[in-house]
Amino acid sequence: MNIGFVIGVFGILILAHATYSTIQYRSYLKILEEEFSSPPFNVVVELILGLVLCLWAALAVPGKFLSIHPDSEENRIVSLPANLDFMIFNHRGRALPTDVNMKLKC
Amino acid sequence: MTSNTGSEFEKKSSDDILLPTMNAENLQANMRTIYYSRTFLSIIAGVIAGILGFTNLTGFVFYFLVMAITSLGLVAKAKFSVHAHFDSWNRVVLDGFLSGLMSFVLFWTFAYDLVHIF
């Protein structure tokens, strides 16, 4: 997350520099008295680079996607009951038949 | 033990009625993530369109292009399993499109004025 943020700041700085060099190019054209047709090549390269870096930042910074399935690995609630200390299994119920469980399972 | 089997029974019955069950909080968090990504990228796309000096229809085509790339990136971020993270494709492809268009036009005109007019 942190490195994505740094990359985004870097991309915005590249875009600012591209803006500045385009402004300079326009004033240069004004001196030469020519018409503006398209920005110079290095500005286009800078813009593409800035777009790619900002795309990376925009995908990395806001956080990960979470699964919406209720029975997926990360949404499952795994917790033990709080009264484990008070559970006793060594009682007369051990002698009883365990048909109850079998019935519940099917 | 009994509580475990009870929850299994509940799940089975809900599957029988075909209720679409999902984690609404996680879906909302994913939607917020997509909204942030799209807003930021539409601002960046506006600045780039302004610097390149796009005028009328070309700028909107550029916006569509950038949003398509963004959708592709979001799908790749979801590891190409969209239905594990969203309930439909429209959430990834269309959500936040119009609000992004507003900020795109704002920053497009801003950058165009800054570079080409002043």
- For residue B63, pLDDT over 60 is answered with yes
B106 touches chain A (CB under 8 A): no
Is residue B4 one of the residues assigned to a domain?
A: no
CB B86 within 8 A of CB B27: yes
Q: What angle do CA B41, B45, B51 make, to 5 degrees?
A: 145
Question: Given an 8 Å threshold on Cβ–Cβ distance, is B41 in contact with A62?
Answer: no
pLDDT score recorded for residue B109: 92
Domain hosting B69: range is 23-117
Indicate whether A36 pLDDT > 90: no
Q: Report which of A57, A54, A58 is spatially closest to residue A12, judged by C-alpha positions.
A: A54
Please, which pLDDT band fits residue B6 given cuts at 50, 70 and 90?
very low
- Residue B10 contacts A where some CB pair is shorter than 8 Å: no
Contact (CB<8Å) A66/B84? no
Residue A77 maps to a domain: no
**pLDDT tens, A37-79?**
778 888 899 999 999 999 988 888 887 888 777 776 666 767 6
pLDDT at A81 over 70: yes
In this prediction, residue B107 carries a pLDDT of 92
The distance of Cα B91 from the centroid of its chain, to the nearest Å, equals: 6
- Report whether B85 contacts A68 (CB < 8 A): yes
On average, the pLDDT of chain B sits at: 80
Residue A54: inside a domain = yes
- Confidence (pLDDT) at A100: 58
- d(C-alpha B118, C-alpha B116), whole Å: 6
CA distance B40 to A54: 8
* DSSP code for B116: I
Q: Which residue has the higher pLDDT, A93 or A25?
A: A25
How high is the pLDDT of residue A105? 54
Instruction: Report the interhelical angle of A41-60 vs B24-52 (nearest 10°).
Output: 170
ipTM of the complex: 0.74
Would you say residue A96 lies in a domain? Answer: no
Report the distance separating Cα B28 and Cα A69, nearest Å.
Answer: 13
Give the total number of structural domains in chain B. Answer: 1
The reported pLDDT for the residue numbered A99 is 66
Average pLDDT over residues B84-103: 84
How many domains does one find in chain A?
1
Residue B13 falls inside a structural domain: no
Residue A48 lies in a domain: yes
B51 and A22 within 8 Å at the Cβ level: the answer is yes
Q: Is residue B104 part of a domain?
A: yes
Q: How confident is the model at residue B17 (pLDDT cuts 50, 70, 90)?
A: low
Q: Is residue B14 part of a domain?
A: no
Low-confidence winner among A37-51, B13-27, B51-65 (lowest mean pLDDT): B13-27
Tell me the two tokens of residue B2: 């009994």
- The pLDDT assigned to B104 comes to 92
Question: Which chain A residues touch B48 with a CB distance below 8 Å?
Answer: 15, 47, 50-51
Query: What is the DSSP code string of A36-63?
Result: --S--HHHHHHHHHHHHHHHHHHHHTT-
Domain that holds residue A22: 2-60
The CB-side HSE value for A54 (13 A sphere, CA atoms) comes to 28
**Residue B11: inside a domain:** no
Angle between helices A2-32 and B24-52 (to 10 degrees): 20
Query: What average pLDDT does this structure show over A23-48?
Result: 86
Chain B: nearest CA to A2, how far in angstroms? 16
Indicate whether B86 pLDDT > 60: yes
Band the pLDDT of B106: cuts 50, 70, 90: very high
Phi-psi sector, B11: left (phi>0), alpha (psi -120 to 50), beta: alpha
Does a structural domain hold residue B45? yes
